[in-house]
Every structure is written in structure tokens, then in C-alpha cells.
Amino acid sequence: MLLNTLFIALRSIRRNLLRSFLTILGIVIGVAAVITMVTLGNGATQAVQLKIASLGSNLLMVRPGQRQGPGGAGGGSVPSFKEADAEAILTQIGGVATVAPEGRSSVTVIANGRNWATTVTGSSNAWFQTGNWTLAAGRPFTDDEQVSGAAVCVIGETVRRELYGGAAGSQGLGEQLRIKQFSCTVIGILASKGQAGMGNDQDDTVLVPLHTLQRRVTGNRIVATLLVAMQDGADSAPIKNALTQLLRERRKLGDGDDDNFNVLDTQQLAETLSGTTQVMTALLGAVAAVSLLVGGIGIMNIMLVSVTERTREIGLRLAIGALEREVLLQFLIEAVVLSALGGVAGIVIATVASILLSSIMGIPYLFDPAINLLSLAFSAGIGVIFGYFPARRAAQLDPIEALRHE
Amino acid sequence: MSAAQSPSATPLIRLAAVTKVYGTGQAELLALKGIDLSINAGEFVAIMGPSGSGKSTAMNILGCLDTPTGGQYLFHGAHVEALTRDQRARLRRRFLGFVFQGFNLLARTSAQENVELPLLYRGDSAEVRRAAASRALASVGLTGWEEHTPAELSGGQQQRVAIARAIVTQPAVLLADEPTGNLDSQRSVEIMELLQGLNEAHGITVLMVTHEPDMAAYARRLVHFVDGHIASDEANASPTRPLAATTRSH
Ligand SMILES: Nc1ncnc2c1ncn2[C@@H]1O[C@H](COP(=O)(O)OP(=O)(O)O)[C@@H](O)[C@H]1O
Ligand SMILES: [Mg+2]
């Protein structure tokens, strides 16, 4: 009986393709929306996490400025850091692996007859460690070069490619590079980190010794940021406390004064940011779930209409000897097959859309089996519920009553 | 003249004091007021009477689509009034074929598939269904029309598909409630000749409701309903014959 009824149900679907299509349209859209939203949300979350991971784990970023003030970091009257601060942190606080003082400036670099707008970063060799950088070619700075502010630089892969071309890490080493008024020798090439997600290219940088930046580019002694790398497995809270205490002393802040610098913990940042994107994902998913629900109501609507339309058909089937449960089963199978088809179509559309959109948005595509299964189960459930109840009402009618139905 | 008319000890169908009440309370309506009727296998009975006299009500009870309010209905010796819904469905599936005034074919469905439908519920295999449906369509003169959908067929052709669907299970009884009600007179004559042929050649018992005397004249027994009663029940000694058959028999 089951096989037979399955056959009858499939025949009925095939015979009424337009009606079948309309029935599942809502489900297709709903399922596609939910899966796409959640998949993109997951991708965005991962992109954020990747970006933060690429900043270097176990890193404290210290910037001058009022904590959470409306002006943010770098408020006008707030004193900047000095190189000596970095030295003090490294020697006086336990658990610190290395400290890199950092300054930055936006410049246009020129080499090989080409221009490239980028950021020049001035720091020490410690910078490589704080940022998890390795060299694809060449060498780091010598102590001499760092102290004297020599005209040498290490360039990121993007800068290298734009100025010198060729395969990754290949050309550019030993060449000259003009930054503003001075010319420096490329002594090293950073290994590419790739896109950190959402259009942020970390490889687009030129590194020079801090003194080189201060003397030849910015013309001041400002250290904008202190990058503090903690030792592996070190607990960030006590280090942060000790760091804050030390800097307060060095900056001569009284007991009542607010901190005039802030400490950003990348781990904390990672948690906060990915928490935010997760909330966003949940929100988007909820909005999409509403559309799935609307799709379900659409199925119910069409099922109701189609059962009404088909009441005479049901009457006929009953009259020629179909059992009530056979008619019911037929409608149930039709509904389940249709909504499962809708679910599968939704999944296919969502997969294509997610892959496309995530590549456009520059975030990774992450297949999430749970949400796919959930949407499929939900659409099948809707089909069963909304297919079953109208059909049951009709199958319980007297055959003659059903036949007489207009 | 016909072997099918030989009286048998127990009739195929027996209604005894059958009543049918529709509605309750104020709206209560006594549609059948005690019907006694016996029909033997192989009979061709026309049920006539004015509109509202209870013909369809009686047909629905005879066709096991509905149950009497009072009285007894014996089919093949079984008490139909005591059967469950599913038992009646099985009985219809096994013994009865229906032809309706409005054809009631499945839309967008070929004649072949429409005729196969009752066999599907019997669980017949695809080959059996195909062969039986082709035979049934051939016996109503629709060979070559198997793949046409109802929309592509005339009213007369649709009713013939419906007849093929009714006889494909080789039922004992064919019930037709105003089968020619939606057809013009030429098409009606064709349907009547078809029913007469099925009755005489295949021995199918035919019960037909009509209010057209011309159509009733094809039957060999005429039952008149008036106001929920049987007013008269008489044999038709000389049923109308197709022209060709009349010529041959003389
Ligand atoms: N389902 C029903 N509910 C209530 N009254 C009905 C129903 N079917 C028929 N009737 C009434 O029963 C009487 C007999 O109807 P019916 O058997 O259809 O007559 P006929 O077929 O001879 O025209 C009519 O008065 C009709 O209005
Ligand atoms: Mg009637």
C-alpha cells in the first residue's frame, strides 16, 4: 500500500507542476535565506577572528589617550610614549616576552618608476615577534641600523608586488626605495599573511627602524603605540595591571587622575568582536527564520487551497474504493516530498549564494551542517503539519459530500 | 432472451424498509420513507421520478456511499448498514463501479491514467493496469484516445472514459446517476447503447437514474420514485435497441 500510494502521490505532483512549484516557493526562499544568513554570519565571525589572530596572540596594545573618552585614543594634550617606556616595561614587568615601540605614517613610496601609497611603520626588531611576522627573504635590522636610524627598510609583500612585480618574495631585495625625501635599501621582505578579511591588507606596509621614521619621516620623537607581547601561557590580567601601574608612575599620574593611555588586550578584543558578530549572526538568522515561517504559512495556504480544490478528487478516490488512510497518506507523501524538495532546493540556492556573497565580501565560506539539517527538518515538518491537517479534514468527508463540493 | 435475467434464489441487492433522514430537529427531512427493492444479478434497472423524490439518495445507499437511517440493505447477503467506512470502501472497490453526471475525471490526467486509477487502489501491477485499462477503453470505443486529457475530449468521450473507469475492475454492479444529464441527445443515445451492451454482453448489473423516458426505455426494468416512495416497479418488455441490433434480430 505504501509503495502504491507513493506512486499515486508522485504522479499527482508531476501532474500539477505549477501548483507544486508555488507550494514550495516559500519554503525554498525561507530555507535559502536562513542558511545564507547564518553561513555568511559564521564567515564574518571567522574573518574577524582571523584578523585578530593575525595581529598576534597574547598581545597588549598600549596607546596614549583617555580611556573610552569621546575623543578616543590620541587626544591632543595627552603625552605620547617614549622609547624608554618600552625598555622599562620589558625589564620591570614579569611575563613580558618583548616590547616594540611603534610609530606610523602614511606615505607614498616610489621605486622602479612606480608609486604606491602605503603606511610606513617605524619600530624595532621586536616588532616581528609582536606581529607574528617572518621574513620571506633578507634579514632584520642590525643594532647599528636601529640606533643610527639607517636608511634601510623591510617591505610587505603587497608593496613588493606593486613596486617590483614578479612572484611572491622574489624581486625587490637590495633595491632602492624612495620614502618622501630619502632613499632606503630594501634589506628584507615580509612573508605574506594574506588577506585578514574584510578588505584589510596587512601586507601593505613598509617597516623602517624607529629612529629612521622619527628623523626622516615624522620629524618628532613620538612613539604612537607600544606593542607588548606576553610570554606563552602568561595570564594577561596581572601583566595588564602591572603595566598600567608602571605607566601611571612613569607618566606621573596622581592617585585621583584617570589613565591617560589605554591598554587593548587582543584576546579580549577577539572575544568582544567575535561576540558581536555572533550576535549579528543570530539576529540575521532570526530575521531569516521569520521568512522561513512566512514560507511555512505560504505552504499551509496553498495546501489548504489545493485540498479545497481537490475535494472532488478526494471524493472520487473515496468513491472508487480508496480507503481514508490511503488518501491521507497520499496527501502526506505529497506534502513531505514537496517540502523536502523545497528544502533541498533552498539548500542548493543558499550554498551557491553563500559562496558567491562570501567571496564578494572577502570572508571565508563555512559550510554549517547543523543549520542545513535544521532548515531541512523544519521545512519537512511544516509540510507534514500543513499538508496533513487539511488533507485529514477532506479525507474524513463523506464521499458523496466531497463529490458534490463545488 | 438474456441468460443474465434468470432469477436466482437470493437477489444480489435487497433493500428492506430502508429510510433515510437528512438533518436533525426542525431541519429534519425524510428523503426515503421505507423502500423495499430487490435486484438480481444481470438486471438493467432505470430509476425514474421527479426531482427531489429520493433517487440519488437511494443510489448513494445502493452504491454503499451512504448508509440508511433505518431498514436493511443486503448486498451479496452482507448487511451493508452494519459495515464500517473502510469495509464499505473495500466493497465498492471490489464490486461496484460508478458513473457520475459530472464525469469526475482527474484533470490534466490522461484517459489511460484515469481508467487505471481504481486498479491502483487494488494494488495491481503496472502491466495488469495498462492491459486492463486499454481493454476497458476499447470496450467504450476509445482506442487511440488513451493519451488525451479530459480537456481534449468531448463530453460524450469524457463520459465514456468514466464508464471505462467504472468497468475496468469488472464490477458486479454499475451505478450511474443521471449519466446523460450533461450530454446532448445523440451523445446520450451512445452512452445508453454502451450501458445496454455492457449489461447484455458482460452480464454487469446496471442501475441507472434518469428522468428522461427515452433513456429509461433502454432498461429492462423501470422503477418510479415519488416523494421517497416507490410508486411503481415494472418490467420493460421491449427495451429500445440500437438500430443495427434491431435489424439483425428481425
Ligand atoms: N445531503 C443532504 N442533506 C440534506 N438534504 C438532502 C441531502 N441530499 C438530498 N437531500 C434532500 O433529500 C431529498 C431527496 O434528494 P435526492 O435524493 O437528491 O433527490 P433526486 O435525486 O431524486 O432529485 C431532497 O428533498 C433533497 O433536498
Ligand atoms: Mg439526483
Say which CATH topology domain B13-237 has: Rossmann fold (3.40.50)
Q: Do A316 and B63 touch (CB under 8 A)?
A: no
Give yes or no for B93 touching A (CB within 8 A): yes
Kindly list the distances between the CA atom of residue B31 and the CA atoms of A107, B17, B51, B145, B229, in Å, as whole numbers in the listed order. Answer: 100, 13, 12, 41, 9
Asked if residue A133 is part of any domain, the answer here is: yes
Mean pLDDT value of segment A363-368: 88
Angle (CA) B96-B97-B98 rounded to 5° is 125
Mean pLDDT (whole number) for A310-320: 89
Shortest distance, CA B2 to any CA of chain A (angstroms): 29
Domain that holds residue A294: 2-51+271-404
Please report the pLDDT score of residue B250 as a whole number.
Answer: 42
Interface of A with B (CB under 8 A): 1, 4, 7-8, 11, 15-16, 312-313, 315-324, 326, 398-400, 403
Assigned domain for A360 exists: yes
Neighboring chain B residues of A316 at a CB cutoff of 8 Å: 104, 106
- pLDDT beyond 60 at B214: yes
pLDDT-based confidence at residue B248 (cuts at 50, 70, 90):
very low
Split at pLDDT 50, 70, 90, the class of A167 is: confident
Residue B22 contacts residue B29 (beta carbons within 8 Å): yes
Spatial CA neighbour of A24 closest among A389, A289, A346, A377: A346
Question: Tell me, what DSSP letter sits at residue B34?
Answer: E
| Cα B4 from Cα A394, distance rounded (Å) | 40
Q: Cα of A210 to ligand 2 centre, how many Å?
A: 103
Residues near ligand 1 (Cβ within 6 A): B 22-23, 29, 31, 49, 51-57
Q: B125 is written with which cell numbers? A: 501491477
Quickly tell me which residue has 428522461 as its cell.
B212
pLDDT score of A347 more than 90: yes
**Is B118 close to A11, i.e. CB distance below 8 A?**
no
Interval A63-77 mean pLDDT: 57
Tell me if chain A has a CB within 8 Å of the CB of B106. Answer: yes
B6: pLDDT strictly greater than 50: no
Q: Report the pLDDT value the prediction gives residue A195, as an integer from 0 to 100.
A: 60
> Is there a contact between A399 and B108 if contact means CB atoms under 8 Å apart?
no
Predicted pLDDT at A405: 78
Among B19, B22, B26, B223, say which to mutate for ligand 1: greatest number of ligand atoms within 8 Å of CB. Answer: B22
Model confidence at B65: pLDDT above 90: yes
Spacing of C-alpha A22 from chain mean position: 35
Task: Note whether A324 contacts B89, CB cutoff 8 Å.
Answer: yes
The pLDDT-based confidence of A156 (bands split at 50, 70, 90) is very high
Q: Which of A289-293, A363-367, B184-188 is predicted least confidently?
A: A289-293
**In chain B, domain spans:** 13-237
User: Among A52-66, A226-240, A248-262, B217-231, which is the least confidently predicted range?
Assistant: A52-66
Task: Give the residue, out of B57, B226, B230, with the most ligand 1 atoms within 8 A of its beta carbon, to mutate for a pocket test.
Answer: B57
Closest CA to A57 of A275, A266, A273: A266
Chain B CB contacts of A399 below 8 Å = 65
- What distance in angstroms lies between residue B53's CA and the mean position of ligand 1's atoms? 8
Of all protein residues, the one whose alpha carbon is nearest to atom 14 of ligand 1 is: B54
pLDDT at B19 > cutoff 60: yes
Question: Domain boundary at A231, A263, A294, which?
Answer: A231
pLDDT of residue A69 exceeding 60 = no
Which residue has cell 617590483? A164
Q: What is the mean pLDDT of residues B116-137?
A: 93
In this prediction, residues B134-139 reach a mean pLDDT of: 95
**Maximum alpha-carbon separation in chain A:** 103
**Residue A168 pLDDT > 90:** no
Helix orientation angle between A266-309 and A324-361, rounded to the nearest 10 degrees: 150
Looking at residue A58, its pLDDT comes to 79
Contacts of B133 in chain A (CB under 8 A): none
CA nearest neighbour of A184 among A153, A206, A210, A216: A153
pLDDT of B234 higher than 90? yes
- Pair B46, B75: CB distance under 8 Å: no
Q: What letter does residue B244 receive in the DSSP assignment?
A: H
Q: Name the β-bridge partners of A184.
A: A177
For residue A122, being part of any structural domain is answered with yes
Using alpha carbons, list the distances in angstroms from residue B203 to A361, B42, B118, B173.
Answer: 77, 5, 20, 9
Q: Which residue has the higher pLDDT, A375 or B52?
A: B52
- A152-155 vs A205-209, strand pairing mode: antiparallel
pLDDT digits (tens, 9 = 90+) for B77-90: 899 999 999 999 99
CA distance A82 to A68: 22
Q: Is the pLDDT of residue A53 over 80?
A: no
Q: Quick check: B171 contacting A, CB < 8 Å?
A: no
Under the banding of pLDDT at 50, 70 and 90, the label for residue A26 is confident
Amino acid A56: pLDDT: 64
Q: Has residue A195 been placed in a domain?
A: yes
Contact indicator for B111, B147 with CB cutoff of 8 Å: yes
Strand partners, B101: none
Chain B residues whose CB is inside 8 A of the A318 CB are 89
Average pLDDT (B157-177) is: 96
Q: What is the mean pLDDT of residues B119-148?
A: 94
Q: Which of A184-198, A247-261, B1-15 has the highest mean pLDDT?
A: A247-261
Q: Average pLDDT, whole number, for chain B?
A: 91
CB-based contacts of B162: which residues, under 8 Å, 6+ apart? B99, B100, B103, B104, B105, B114
- Return the residue whose CA atom lies nearest to atom 27 of ligand 1: B52
Picking from B60, B100, B120, the nearest residue to A8 by CB comes out as: B120
β partners of residue A105: A120
pLDDT score of A375 more than 90: no
Band of the pLDDT at B194, cuts 50, 70, 90?
very high
Cβ–Cβ pairs < 8 A, chains A and B: 58
Q: Do B86 and A323 touch (CB under 8 A)?
A: yes
Mean pLDDT of the B89-114 span: 93
- Which of B65, B93, B94 faces A399 most closely, judged by CB atoms? B65
What mean pLDDT value characterizes chain A? 84
pLDDT average, residue stretch B225-237? 95
User: Which of the residues B65, B113, B168 would you substitute to probe the A interface, choosing the one with the greatest number of A C-beta atoms within 10 Å?
Assistant: B65
Task: Give per-residue pLDDT as tens, A86-101.
Answer: 889 988 888 898 999 9
Q: Are A115 and A211 contained in the same domain?
A: yes
Nearest CA to ligand 1 atom 18: B56
Within its chain, how far is the Cα of A98 from the centroid?
30
B121 CB within 8 Å of a chain A CB: yes
Residue entry with cell 438474456? B2
Task: In whole angstroms, give the CA distance from residue B209 to residue B63.
Answer: 12
The pLDDT assigned to A155 comes to: 93
d(CA A135, CA A189) in angstroms, rounded, equals: 6
Answer for the pair A315, A405: CB distance below 8 angstroms, yes or no.
Answer: yes
Answer whether A152's CB lies under 8 Å from A187's CB: yes
Q: Could you tell me the pLDDT band of residue A70, with boundaries at 50, 70 and 90? A: very low
This model of the complex carries an ipTM of 0.90
- Interface mutation target, options A3, A320, A325, A401, chain B, most CBs of B under 10 Å: A320
CA of B236 relative to ligand 2 center, distance in Å: 22
Q: What is the pLDDT of residue B244?
A: 59
Q: Are B159 and B168 in contact, with CB atoms under 8 Å apart?
A: no
Phi and psi, residue A234, nearest 5° = -75, 145
Can you tell me which residue has the cell 431541519?
B27
Rounded Cα distance between A347 and B62, Å, is: 53
Average of per-residue pLDDT across A282-289: 84
Of all ligands present, the nearest one to the C-alpha of B181 is 2
CA distances from residue B110 to A95, B73, B118, B120 in whole angstroms, order as listed: 84, 36, 14, 15
Question: Which candidate, A395, A227, A230, A393, places its Cα nearest to that of A319?
Answer: A395
What H or E segment, with its residue span, contains residue B123? none
Alpha-carbon span A192 to A172, nearest angstrom: 14
Q: Which atom of ligand 1 is nearest to the CA of B177?
A: 21
pLDDT in tens, B26-38: 889 999 999 999 9
Shortest-distance atom of ligand 1 to CA B59 = 17
Q: What pLDDT is recorded for position B1?
A: 41
Annotate chain A with three-state secondary structure: CHHHHHHHHHHHHHHCHHHHHHHHHHHHHHHHHHHHHHHHHHHHHHHHHHHHHHHCCCEEEEEEECCCCCCCECCCCCCCECHHHHHHHHHHCCCEEEEEEEEEEEEEEEECCEEEEEEEEEECCHHHHHCCCCEEEECCCCHHHHHHCCCEEEECHHHHHHHHCCCCCCCCCCCEEEECCEEEEEEEEECCCCECCCCCECCCEEEEEHHHHHHHHHCCCCECEEEEEECCCCCHHHHHHHHHHHHHHHCCCCCCCCCCEEEEEHHHHHHHHHHHHHHHHHHHHHHHHHHHHHHHHHHHHHHHHHHHHCHHHHHHHHHCCCCHHHHHHHHHHHHHHHHHHHHHHHHHHHHHHHHHHHHHHCCCCCCCHHHHHHHHHHHHHHHHHHHHHHHHHHHCCCHHHHHHCC
Residue B216 C-alpha to ligand 1 middle, in angstroms? 21
As given in the structure block, the three cell numbers for residue B104 are 469526475
Structure-block grid coordinates of residue B140: 467504450
Among protein residues, the one whose CA lies closest to atom 26 of ligand 1: B52
Ligand 1 atom with minimal separation from the B50 CA: 22
- Is the pLDDT score of A189 beyond 60? yes
| Residue B191, amino acid | I
pLDDT in the model for residue A1: 66
pLDDT of A316: 92
Is residue B247 pLDDT above 70, yes or no?
A: no
Number of domains in chain A: 2
What average pLDDT does this structure show over A6-31?
83
**B120 to chain A: which residues are within 8 Å by CB?**
4, 7-8
Please report the pLDDT score of residue A21 as a whole number. 84
Average of per-residue pLDDT across A170-176: 86
What does the radius of gyration of chain A's CA atoms come to, in whole angstroms? Answer: 33
Does the pLDDT value for residue B9 go beyond 70?
no
